[in-house]
Amino acid sequence: MLIVAATLTLQSCKKDNSGKRTNNEEPDKPAATWADQVITLEYTALTTASYEIAAIDYMDLKNSAGKNLYELLDYSSAEEMVAALGDFPEDKEPDTGAELLFFGNDPVTESDVMSTYNTNGAGYWLNGYGAVQGWGPDARMYIEAYWGNDEEEGYYFSGGVGVMPGVTVAGDKYEGRMVLQRTKSATEIIRVGIQYIITMEEFKDEEASKYDASKRTIGTKDINLTGDLSVATGYTGLSFNIADDVQNALQLSKYQMTQVETVSDDDGNFYSGFKFETLQNGTVLDGKTTNLWLDIDANPIGWGEGAIICFEHWYNVNEVAAHVCTYAEEGNTSASAVGKTYSGVTQRITYLPADCNGDLTKATIVNLNYTIKVVE
């Protein structure tokens, strides 16, 4: 289970008259000089964490005294703050001409970073010392944000913080910094720093003791998934917790499932690990593995116009789940399927341990058989 805890701290950038530091920095470092005020966000994450560990809503971000981020920047509202950021930089270049800038700061040198954003949003991948680093094995964490004014939802300014999967080490602590700098006038600049600290903890596979490989199901296990799917739920749809049934058949913990390596033989045929297939009325659909969209007449179709219903399943260290939903983009016709029942879809999970040496007669086959009625 991913552990995420966040605390907010407003740090002072000044020293008191006695010369003592007032921002809890280590004795061998000077008091913070990189921002007028600093909000610290602290997180704890497991070494199994993959990418985002926490979402951040900057519209509602407050310091420990309850003062809003926009107030620290001397704006009258969150909307005014977002408007001052200007258009979202689709070209990944920080808009140095905007009244309010969003950029990085190196924790070691305390120098500002206004290089091209290198995350999906506006932000940066960082190495273990908080310096800008491209995505890859040398990266440790990232910070990114998005902002704008949606016609239906209004102003937004949100994002996330996360870690590079597969490279973090228990006990490591990573620090990243971003700055919101407002040029209020030719003579007045306000800088609010946001400090993101992630402490990594070792993942303990507490589920592993529940399973015994010698009790693995040899042959086929059918799991029948039935239910009413409301078109009003859109992509939220209907979820099924299939963890117990699937894990008991495989005799694997969720973590162990994530560690299974799939191997093919010299001819490209499945040899060991996991194989995922989707069938319709008993026929394997080419190219369909864990996700299938159907049109109103139950014909396979890609996501997009004409799509009605989706069947999918997934697993990770937190869950093993199956899910059905309806197409929810503008102009969708999912409501036209109300009253229809979609059956005949089977999503098959084949598991063959490496020590079976490619002998498929020793495989565990789990069939997820769907019967879904579309309702209002």
Per-residue pLDDT of the chain (376 residues; tens, 9 = 90+): 333 444 343 333 333 332 322 333 333 333 358 999 999 999 999 998 889 999 999 999 999 899 999 999 999 999 999 999 999 999 999 999 999 999 999 999 999 999 999 999 999 999 999 999 999 999 999 999 999 999 888 999 999 999 999 899 999 999 999 999 999 999 999 999 999 999 999 988 989 999 999 999 999 999 999 999 999 999 999 999 999 999 999 999 999 999 899 999 999 999 999 999 999 999 999 999 999 999 999 999 999 889 999 999 999 888 999 999 999 887 778 889 999 999 999 999 999 999 999 999 999 999 999 999 999 9
**303 vs 343: CA distance, rounded Å:** 19
Where among 173, 201, 229 does a domain terminate? 201
Same domain, 310 and 252: yes
Same domain, 282 and 218: yes
**249 vs 14: CA distance, rounded Å:** 61
Same domain, 226 and 157: no
Same domain, 167 and 225: no
Same domain, 167 and 262: no
**51 vs 45: CA distance, rounded Å:** 11
Same domain, 213 and 197: no
344 lies in a domain? yes
| 17 phi, psi to nearest 5 deg | -65, -20
Where among 169, 201, 233 does a domain terminate? 201
Stated pTM of the model: 0.62
Same domain, 22 and 60: yes
Smallest CA-to-CA distance from 357 within 263, 288, 216 is with: 263
Decide: 342 and 297 in contact? Cβ < 8 Å: no
Q: For the chain, what is the domain count? A: 2
179 lies in a domain? yes
Q: What secondary structure, in 3-state letters, does 53-86 show?
A: EEEEEHHHCECCCCCEHHHHCCCCCHHHHHHHHC
Q: Range of 275's domain?
A: 208-375
Identify the sign of the CA torsion 315, 316, 318, 323. Answer: negative
Decide: 179 and 104 in contact? Cβ < 8 Å: yes
β partners of residue 196: 41, 176
Same domain, 121 and 213: no
Where among 201, 229, 256 does a domain terminate? 201
Place of tokens 């005014």: 80
275-334 pLDDT per residue, tens: 999 999 999 999 999 999 999 999 999 998 899 999 999 998 889 999 999 998 877 788
3 lies in a domain? no
3 state DSSP class of 213:
helix
Same domain, 179 and 214: no
Same domain, 101 and 239: no
Same domain, 195 and 223: no
233 lies in a domain? yes
27 lies in a domain? yes
Same domain, 181 and 291: no
150 lies in a domain? yes
What confidence score (pLDDT) does residue 32 get?
A: 56
